[in-house]
Amino acid sequence: MRLQLTALLAAAGAFSATLAGAGVRVARADDRVETKTTLMLEPGEGVEELRILHPQLDFGIDIGSKLELSAGYEADIVSGATPRVYDVELDAVSSATKFDDIRHSGRAAFAYETGDTTLSAGYSYGIEEDYRSHSITVGMVTELNGKNTTLGLRYGHNFDRVCDADNADREPLERRALVSSGGCFGGGGTEATTTHSIGIDHYQATLTQNLSPVAVVQFGAEAQVIRGFQSNPYRRVRVYDLEVQEVIPESRERVAAFVRLNYAIPKAASALNLMARFYADSWAIESGMVDLTYHQYLGRHLLVSLRGRIYQQDSAVFFRDAEDYARGGPVGTFWTGDRELSPFRDYMVGAKFALLSTSEGDHKAWGVFDDAELAAKGDLLFYDALTPHPPNPKRNSSLIDAIILQLGVRLRW
């Protein structure tokens, strides 16, 4: 069964991940290896818990003093149940479909430093039963004004393909949803399938400015243009008395702007990170987000970080409450049961504990490394639907809507 969560996520994630391990900021000085494993649990009322295990492994090496090469791997191992139909009575056990899937993704990148500028480029490839993704990313970072101002530019493009039921020339209200990924990409299943292309362009610009010895600010803007099939091929929506495949526009333009302020409090061995972001897209979704993190050093080797985040969004212009689709039908020729396109607010609170060790003179961290870090992190997510019959109601009825746990190790030498 398809990993719905990785369809466009592959697009957004690939842009960040491709150069995440590379020195997209400024070429790093050490060889390194780092790994993290993230577990996300979404409990549900009367539906099977959704579990996503996300391991990551990255390493980088320096070739001389100017060039850094890096490579990485990550996977999503997903199991759980997903609602089969977006309806007023959605998500009852009988209408949920169990699924398991694995997505694999590999990437490689390089960063080359020339003067005060670092150039980088990367490629990633992702594969799952019903989705293929090729992504290229290029970036540039340059430092100005005595290295007090940093300008960063990035561009990425995805060449993706997604599997779908072969609906030939059926009208939207006659389209049937994909049942299984077994027949995708020549998999040999009995279901007739086809594939659609998705092209994604992603742009980012950031400007970072040191304000004082204890304050730094960053402004950023991002844009994304998506062309191609963006529906969930498995999802059905009850429109009047019909259960038809989800249909959403094949074109989307998205923009976001953000500002971040980091402020150190040396006397308290602590720091504050504040971020605000606005987002709007051509589907009329607007959202705002504020994120605050407080870091506190406890001694020389323990860093504790506490964090709170609030996010709210409007719905897409073609989104309707489940009851409205069933009784009044859609407006226009689009209908969706996607939670991402509904109006809601969510809150996140979390804590992270990092054990840090740095070499001093001949005394290496953990006996071998220049730097070593062992970190554990936990976040809780709370969700408030802002419509009476939202998508995934059983999934969002628990006190805590998602639990995210993470364990990681970083080593440099």
Window 23-82: residues binding other proteins (CB under 8 A) = 24-29, 34-36, 38, 40, 52, 54, 56, 58, 74, 76
Which of 84, 235, 295, 394 touches other proteins (CB under 8 A)? 295
Residues 6+ apart with CB under 8 A from 394: 44, 45, 46, 47, 83, 90, 91, 92
Contact residue for other proteins among 134, 176, 227, 277 (CB under 8 A): 277
Among 99, 110, 311, 318, binds other proteins (CB under 8 A): 311
Least Å distance, CB 404 to other proteins, is 6
The single residue among 79, 97, 194, 210 that binds other proteins, judged by CB under 8 A, is 210
Task: Check binding of 266 to other proteins (CB under 8 A).
Answer: yes
**Listed ranges 85-93, 128-136, 140-148, 323-331: which one lies at the site for other proteins (CB under 8 A):** 140-148
Could you tell me which stretch among 174-182, 191-199, 243-251, 306-314 binds other proteins (CB under 8 A)? Answer: 306-314
Quote the CA–CA distance of 239 and 133 in Å, as a whole number. Answer: 32
Q: Identify the residue among 1, 2, 20, 193 touching other proteins (CB under 8 A).
A: 20
User: Min. distance of Cβ 191 from other proteins in angstroms?
Assistant: 25
- Residue 228 in the binding site for other proteins (CB under 8 A): no
233 is an interface residue for other proteins by CB under 8 A: no
For residues 173 and 217, which CB has a smaller minimum distance to other proteins in the complex? 217
> Among residues 68, 91, 128, 143, which is the contact residue for other proteins, using CB under 8 A?
143
Tell which one of 212, 268, 361, 363 touches other proteins (CB under 8 A): 212
Q: How far is the CB of 347 from other proteins (least distance, A)?
A: 12
Tell me which stretch binds other proteins (CB under 8 A): 61-69, 125-133, 155-163, 211-219: 211-219
The reply on whether position 408 binds other proteins by CB under 8 A is yes
Q: Toward other proteins, which CB reaches closer, 132 or 377?
A: 377
User: How far apart are the C-alpha atoms of 279 and 277, rounded to whole Å?
Assistant: 7
What's the per-residue H, E or C state across the chain? Answer: CCCHHHHHHHHHHHHHHHHHCCCCCCCCCCCEEEEEEEEEEECCCCCCCEEEEEEEEEEEEEECCCEEEEEEEEEEEEEEEEECEECCCCCCHHHEEEEEEEEEEEEEEEEEEECCEEEEEEEEEEEECCEEEEEEEEEEEEEECCCCEEEEEEEEEEEEEEEEECCCCCCHHHCCCCCCCCCHHHCCCCCCEEEEEEEEEEEEEEEEEEEECCEEEEEEEEEEEEEECCCCCCCEEEECCEEEECECCCEEEEEEEEEEEEEEEHHHCEEEEEEEEEEEECCCCEEEEEEEEEEEEECCCEEEEEEEEEEEECCCCCCCCHHHHHHHCCCCCCECCCHHHCCEEEEEEEEEEEEEEECECCECECCCECEEEEEEEEEEEEEEECCCCCCCCCCCCCCCCEEEEEEEEEEEC
240 binds other proteins (CB under 8 A): no
Q: What CA–CA distance (Å, rounded) separates 335 from 321?
A: 10
Residues 377-406 that bind other proteins (CB under 8 A): 377, 379, 381, 383, 402, 404, 406
Smallest gap from Cβ 346 to other proteins, in A, equals: 7
Stretch that binds other proteins, among 175-183, 199-207, 234-242, 243-251 (CB under 8 A): 199-207
- Of 333-372, binders to other proteins (CB under 8 A) are 338-341, 345-346
Part of the chain binding other proteins (CB under 8 A), chosen from 21-29, 90-98, 186-194, 231-239: 21-29
Closest CB to other proteins among residues 164, 222: 222
Region of 92-100, 152-160, 161-169, 189-197 interacting with other proteins (CB under 8 A) = 152-160
Contacts of 312 (CB under 8 A, 6+ apart): 287, 288, 289, 344, 345, 346
Tell me which of 325, 410, 411, 412 binds other proteins, using CB under 8 A.
410
Half-sphere exposure of 21 (CA within 13 A, CB side): 31
Using an 8 Å Cβ cutoff, are 7 and 248 in contact?
A: no
Q: Which of residues 77-136 bind other proteins (CB under 8 A)?
A: none
Minimum distance between the CB of residue 271 and other proteins, rounded to whole angstroms?
4
Interacting span for other proteins (CB under 8 A) from 5-13, 171-179, 243-251, 321-329:
5-13
